[in-house]
Amino acid sequence: MTGRLAIVGLGPGAPELITPLASNILAAATDLVGYAPYLARVPERPGQRRHASDNREELARARQALELATAGKSVAVVSSGDPGVFAMAGAVFEAIEDGKFGWKDIEVTVVPGISAMLAAAARVGAPLGHDFCVISPSDNLKPWDLVLKRLEAAAAGDFVIVLYNPASKARPWQLGEAFRLIARHRAGSTPVIFAHAISQAGERIEITTLGQADPANADMHTLIIIGSSATRLIAKGGRPVFVYTPRHAELVEP
């Protein structure tokens, strides 16, 4: 008997940002699979089994979940934010495609969640109010030249740019290079947002500019949003309180 597998988005952290659909599926699962700190966000239920793993083990975790589903379990793989944006859903589909033939017969559903970019944008206003690009500048799973090509295209296209996973101990210089590349296309006064651990204990938001942005302020829990030429600040008492990108836009030549 083949079971079911749901890949469930927990949102950015706060319980009140988990959808009822996600909560219901988590409550009904026989087995929960995920990175330990994300599993810890899910309320305990008697009889439910938890399979916690380390952060780096995405493909192994996906295969474990598929094995459990093959054995007839009702499995929920938990993911922070939205499972489809730089998260677990990609790993599960890779495992299905490359793995055992029977895995294609498992009933797989993806349950969307509030992604980190939507939560971070909401905290400061509406910086994603117009065309934007979402990029992971990590070169763990792609060549650095592809990162540069995409940053260049996004900067040349005058998109608002969202950076997921902007920095880690193993990638200390990449973010600085990304800022320098974008600064060749945009004014130093362009708004930049560092959003750290949004909706979690330790949430911290910095609104700065491209000219002032310090890559050392980012780590693996930070999401960065870099404005387009149209992105604006609304200040009160000399301090920026909102950042937004208007719905209308003009063609700006570099």
Q: Which of residues 212-231 bind its own copies (CB under 8 A)?
A: none
Task: Please select the residue that binds its own copies; options are 77, 121, 175, 193, rule is CB under 8 A.
Answer: 121
Please give the Cα distance from 114 to 91 (Å, whole number). Answer: 19
**Among residues 34 and 127, whose Cβ is nearest to its own copies?**
127
Q: Does 166 bind its own copies (CB under 8 A)?
A: no
- Quote the least distance from Cβ 205 to its own copies, whole Å: 13
Q: Which of residues 54-73 bind its own copies (CB under 8 A)?
A: 58
Integer angstrom CA distances of residue 71 from 88, 89, 180, 202, 218: 21, 20, 51, 40, 42
Q: Which of residues 88-107 bind its own copies (CB under 8 A)?
A: 89-94, 96-97, 104-105
Task: Please select the residue that binds its own copies; options are 157, 172, 188, 211, rule is CB under 8 A.
Answer: 157
Q: Does 31 bind its own copies (CB under 8 A)?
A: no
- Quote the least distance from Cβ 180 to its own copies, whole Å: 18
- Quote the least distance from Cβ 199 to its own copies, whole Å: 9
- The string of DSSP codes covering 92-126 is HHHHHHHS-GGGGGSEEEEE----HHHHHHHHHEE
Q: Please provide residue 85's backbone torsions phi and psi, each rounded to the nearest 5 degrees.
A: -110, 100
Integer angstrom CA distances of residue 240 from 205, 206, 207, 208, 234: 12, 10, 7, 9, 6
Radius of gyration of the chain (CA): 20
# of chain residues touching its own copies (CB under 8 A): 80
Q: Does 28 bind its own copies (CB under 8 A)?
A: no
